[in-house]
Structure 1
């Protein structure tokens, strides 16, 4: 960028000065990487108009990936002081509801965190997201193509995913399982139930569950249990009208929640505890197992001095099951998208944010924190062995997550029904019927 010499400055008219400044601003805005220290960039942007972008995200819990995301936002604001990110952090359990409520009113934030598949459909139908096709050179070759697919529609790329998550990882206390005769995690459902009974007899809570937010049983449990019984393509068939949640194989899957409830496998306060508290139950030695996403490996093992106490496994094979017991249930998450219809200045600022935020640096920071990423990045020697183990466990293919395929209204009804089962107020058949009715409606 060429600096105007002082002697030439006095000869320029006011109009010429303003035109020159606008050219300089545009040149700076088009740079992919400023290549300067924060102080230098602040000097260049000091006289620029301040632009405020609103951003809604679900990064409110103390998970390690959430801290990485918020640190990246802070770094952007330091690098581009003329662009302010006004954050609206919404708890994960309420995030999608608020997102769709704002979408209905055409009042989305300027930048939004989105999910693929069924969750993206309403935003696509409303033309609420800006296509990113003209800017894909920033991510081609970096982001894995199969991770981008869920965020594209009608030939338009509408968001860029920032992490790859598997929702069904079983974290277990090695010592507790060994205490009841299981030096390895059971590979069959029969042995799994036997282990739960023995843990109960030993006075150990088998599974810590925090279902206050209702999504854990739906997402972390039924995504994979449904796959084990009904097959990897079952949820897609349901939405295509080729299968129903009331099919016998899937009702058998729901019955697993009923059986675990009857065996008192969960902590008694499961419906009054949130997902983070349930993680703490496992970490503190109050339960033998916890079923949650790959993301929480950061808390349970990577940043935990006693991380070696815990192993990871997938849900075992089930009798007459149609699914592959080696598969995990996964999805590319936290797609960053831009609201359509922004004015020229806000759109330019939002694109600048996208290029900076969704970058190789972000993916590398996430990987160092033990988070699976949908990108081609160098792992390096400093990558946690726990992360390598997680990659190996989840490297045998993935099946869909329930609420990434089943429409939101039906998924919420399903969550309510599963919680009702845990307090003896519903049955697998009724839960399936109620959710299926909303799909057909």
Structure 2
């Protein structure tokens, strides 16, 4: 099920949204469903005056200045304003610490009432541990608005545990058109060999080719290697590894690691890549200090829509590699952010949590995200104020979806991978050594 979702689900969902945007207001059926869903369970403050107050806790990783994070927190405030009988106690945990804290709290059965939940392999242990509450009772709220493929990542054994806010494509190549033009390129290279030539020309011209902020270690693993590895191995590789049908030491994966090794030998990255964080590197790129940056589609609003020089920034996908098994038209994508509910919730707290989810994931959320250029999984009409770059992003990412490494790989392997990639960039380990370390972690975890 998960493999089918990763391969086809996101692209199918994008196609649905593109069709709705073309149809405009003519798609009244989906709009009516969405509208009724967004208001389900809400009521005016006056109707709640005599209700016993309920307090719910929520933990999330919406601490960075990403535009959608602000939208989510505003949504919580709006809900409380309309439902004064329900108080939401918020705890923000930085992304680099969030997963570890979530796992620790789950292991100790001390989860908050509500918490940001990641799909697939990261959700599975919470399901098997019995700490998640299914939300099947309220799934009718999103009938006709959220397609099955968009929900599949948060579904296990026929039960639904969350719904997503957005579709994130982690591997978008952003490039500075002016800097590429200085070395004779009108567009981003279509092949890896041409990319290497571009990097060499940029270096010769005194321009830093690649901007990387890997202080928190996950960007190189998730944004860069999800795309690079897929070009060499194909989209089934990670699933085969988990089934014991392939190994991280297989030649195609070692070649993928070799790309980071080659970039390092060419001195393609900024020298402070391992001390610069994700926000700092975004600013570094926007200031024209490097020609190319790979990051999430969520950053499109910052890079282009809210940037006076946004038209100077182009978007592309990582190019094809000679002899590679992957499809260069695919983008590595995953649905986010589900909000999971603690299995201990009951009575008025459970009802309040259901009410919150029904409000939070309303049509208005998805349309607000679209105005900021964020790709959503919902079948809602394109709002009139939609970001002008949104359709371009949706077209770019609609031709197939590759897996995001950390949404499929085992958690111990991910940790070894991140450390290994950093070791490659500091010339302390080779691609072959990192591949062996990863396979050893895989064997131990199984």
TM-score by length of 1: 0.90
Which residue of structure 2 aligns with residue 154 of structure 1? 157
Q: CA deviation at 1:385?
A: 2.1
Greater CA deviation, 49-58 or 309-318? 49-58
Point out which structure has higher relative CO (alpha carbons under 8 A, 6+ apart).
2
Which residue of structure 1 aligns with residue 317 of structure 2? 314
Which residue of structure 2 aligns with residue 245 of structure 1? 248
CA distance in 2, matches of 1:46, 1:200: 66
* Match among 68, 71, 75 for residue 71 of structure 2: 68
Which residue of structure 2 aligns with residue 271 of structure 1? 274
1:44-90: CA deviations, max 9, x gaps? 32332221111111100111110111110110010111111111111
Q: What is the aligned length?
A: 406
Unaligned runs of at least 5 residues, structure 2: 1-38
CA distance in 2, matches of 1:308, 1:283: 12
CA distance in 1, matches of 2:428, 2:328: 31
* Match among 200, 211, 214 for residue 214 of structure 2: 211
Q: CA deviation at 1:427?
A: 1.1
Runs of 4+ in structure 1 off by over 4 angstroms are none
Which residue of structure 1 aligns with residue 113 of structure 2? 110
**SS state at 2:254 partner:** helix
Which residue of structure 2 aligns with residue 130 of structure 1? 133
CA distance in 2, matches of 1:140, 1:240: 34
Q: Is the 8 A contact 2:42 2:83 kept in 1?
A: no
**SS state at 1:288 partner:** strand
Q: CA deviation at 1:34?
A: 4.1
Which residue of structure 2 aligns with residue 32 of structure 1? 40
CA distance in 2, matches of 1:90, 1:197: 40
Residues 1:261 and 2:261 are matched in the alignment: no
Q: Is the 8 A contact 1:162 1:336 kept in 2?
A: no
Residues 1:281 and 2:289 are matched in the alignment: no
Q: CA deviation at 1:207?
A: 1.1
Greater CA deviation, 41-50 or 82-91? 41-50
Which residue of structure 1 aligns with residue 236 of structure 2? 233
Q: CA RMSD in A?
A: 1.1
CA distance in 2, matches of 1:296, 1:327: 19
Which residue of structure 2 aligns with residue 100 of structure 1? 103
TM-score by length of 2: 0.89
Residues 1:390 and 2:398 are matched in the alignment: no
Residues 1:364 and 2:367 are matched in the alignment: yes
CA distance in 2, matches of 1:47, 1:262: 69
**SS state at 1:372 partner:** coil
**SS state at 2:227 partner:** helix
**SS state at 2:56 partner:** strand
Which residue of structure 2 aligns with residue 430 of structure 1? 433
CA distance in 1, matches of 2:143, 2:268: 46
CA distance in 2, matches of 1:277, 1:140: 41
Q: CA deviation at 1:112?
A: 1.1
